[in-house]
Amino acid sequence: MTAPLPAEGTDEVTLFLCGDVMPGRGIDQILPYPGDPALYEHHVKSALDYVALAEEANGSIPRSVAPDYIWGDVLAVLDRVRPDVRIVNLETSVTTSGDWQPKGINYRMNPANVGCLNAAGIDCYVLANNHVLDWGHSGLDDTLDTLRGVGIQTAGAGRDSAEAARPAVLDVAGKGRVLVYAFGTTDSGIPRG
């Protein structure tokens, strides 16, 4: 059963909330500007291995795909539903930093591929997660700079604790605004500092 769309002219704010969007590793490798595929995992040393595994299970996967490719059918759903605000947890650093942290799994996407993050019209990417510092503070700085550079707001991470705690403010025309706060704790895998 599909939820009804809000009536036109209502002051009801509709939200699209999505967890753990991860355009790193194999996804980054099929985008137009694949980053360094080197991984520091126990069993996999190249992101290209994830592409090979996916092809083994599903057949050939195109390379240098359009930015909207990774969203698949969700774009048609978003066009139909037209939520006022789209908020996603970005489970990937957007960086070319080589400052990998020894934690077992490190996600990153080349900043040149940021168009894929804009393709779904996401208003705010939440960064308060266990991968925000996968590539150290330089990787976080790159992520913040890249997202802000293309007009994407973030919540849950910053260059200092005040910036990290500051909400993203999303204006909703004729309806008000939505404040997005994001916090995480070390017991969920988020590193200190």
48: three-class secondary structure by DSSP: helix
Amino acid 5: pLDDT: 58
Token pair listed for 88: 């996603």
Alpha-carbon dihedral 91, 164, 103, 189, rounded to 10 degrees = -80
Residue with tokens 């190249």: 46
Q: What residues does each domain of the chain span?
A: 15-24+67-186
Instruction: Please list, in sequence order, all residues whose beta carbon lies within 8 angstroms of the beta carbon of residue 146, skipping any fewer than 6 positions away.
Output: 94, 95, 111, 114
List the pLDDT tens digit at each of the 193 positions of the chain. Answer: 455 655 566 789 999 999 999 999 999 999 999 999 999 999 999 999 999 999 999 999 999 999 999 999 999 999 999 999 999 999 999 999 999 999 899 999 999 999 999 999 999 999 999 999 999 999 999 999 999 999 999 999 999 999 999 999 999 999 999 999 999 888 877 766 6
Q: Find residue 166's DSSP bridge partners.
A: none
Give ∠ CA 142-121-12 in degrees, rounded to 5: 125
72: three-class secondary structure by DSSP: coil
